[in-house]
Amino acid sequence: MHPRTHHKITTRSIDYEKPPVNELEYHADFWRNKAQDTLSQKLLEKHNTNIAKNVIMFLGDGMSIPTLKASRVYLGQLRNQSGEETVLSFEEFPYIGLSKTYCVDRQVPDSACTATAYLGGVKNNDATIGVTAAVALQDCDASLLDENRVMSIGKWSQDKGKRTGFVTTTRVTHASPAGVYAHTADRDWESDADDVPANCKDIAYQLIYDDIGSKLNVIMGGGRRNFIPKTLTDEEGDAGKRKDENLIQTWIKSKEGKNARYVWNKQDLLNVSNDTEYLLGLFESDHCKYHLDAEDNDPSLAEMTTKAIEILSNGNNGYFLFVEGGRIDHAHHDTKAQKALDETVEFHKAIQTAVEMTDEEDTLIVVTSDHAHTMSISGYGVRGNNIFGSPGNADDALPYSTLTYANGPGYRKEVDGKRSDTSQDITSKYNQDNNNLRFLTICAASVLNLK
């Protein structure tokens, strides 16, 4: 019998006694039986040859393979488990594969060219949406040519009489959701205040007025500022950006005589009737809040997904729904590892919700990512070690972080030839630049002589 050991692990969201290893794991039969169970399950699975009536596409923006690994551990540790054995909801799907990502003009893609690829099936240039690679960045005139426009699965679904919609934790005019409905030579042309050429329309305008956007049954996310004039403030007192009109009011007027609702908070969203035909939900002036920062008025991604499915399911011909966990990406950009992992867990919850609400006999659910980030998992931490902690000391006798970033904020120069001592970091503060750069980037910066 092996001794049981307990270690206290404490962070902002994790406070648990690290559980002992399951003693059955010390025996070979435990693992062989698990393997046989998996094989038996796979042999019993039958190929689903049905034609999908409904399609739900989940996109984890910036959700790399190391993010999945770390998020499993994080989720397990939230449950007072060691974490490594945890499985995310979509990792139990029967089929899995890898995608190769790049833009026509870039080795590493952004969320604009990838959105065009996975929603429209066409690769194009960095920072452009819904257009071919014949359109260079900010080439407004080229983006207006019919032969340079790429239609998305949103358009194809509408042409088949299906209900359509999207849910995102970013602004609804951000790159990924814009791939459903917009055609633009610059992803940053979100409102008419963004130096958009006179002969081109901004993304918010396209969402309200153009053929695809105006027909969407469900639109949910953040970004109110791109829909109201700068002379007005929204429900929470934040100023708008637009120079022309109040697009929220335009949307409301365009839906007169139809069962349509505009909502801006969680309570109103939950009270929306399921027989609503059109729903516009804008829950923040900018991006939706991170889950760890959310307040009572802020709906979760799972709650938005639930309402979207309820509304879209009322159509006679099925539906297409796009759901983005967009703030995984933003947290990684800011090297806030705890928020990135927590947003991934929220993404996992939304997918589980969709699985429970639908039937695989008529609904296809696809989960993917658009690109990765430079977060890596380092070292040989003991089983159940705090995912935001240190797996041990490096050769210089100083600790290093399990999670590290190769770029982003937080770089610290060496002092007297020594790198920063990460044991002095307070990783329990989830707004801190979690565990970033400490080792990998410092070494790279030394080589590159970064200032």
Query: How far, in Å, CA of 145 to CA of 123, rounded?
Result: 17
370 is in an annotated binding site: yes
Residue 333 counted as an annotated binding residue: yes
Q: Are 51 and 58 in contact (CB under 8 A)?
A: no
Catalytic residue, candidates 111, 152, 285, 369: 111
Question: Is 332 known to sit in a ligand binding site?
Answer: no
Q: Which residues touch 24 (CB under 8 Å, ≥6 apart)?
A: 30
Take residue 111 and report the two structure tokens written for it. Answer: 């969320």
Residue 298 is labelled as binding a ligand: no
Residue 2 assigned as binding residue: no
Active site residue 143: no
Is 273 labeled as ligand-binding?
no
Closest to 365 in 3D by CA, of 350, 377, 381, 386 = 350
Q: How many CB atoms lie within 10 A of CB 89?
A: 19
**Any binding-site annotation on 37?**
no
Residues 6+ apart with CB under 8 A from 415: none
Tokens of 434: 């979690």
Helix, strand or coil, per DSSP, at residue 421? coil
DSSP string across 115-163: HHHHHHS----TT-BSB-TTS-TT-HHHHTSGGGB---HHHHHHHTT-E
Residue written as token pair 């708008």: 240
DSSP secondary structure code for residue 262 in this structure: E
Q: Which two tokens stand for residue 126?
A: 């960095």
Q: Is 329 known to sit in a ligand binding site?
A: yes
Annotated catalytic sites, by residue?
111
Binding residues for Mg(2+): 61, 174, 176, 324
Binding residues for Zn(2+): 61, 329, 333, 370-371
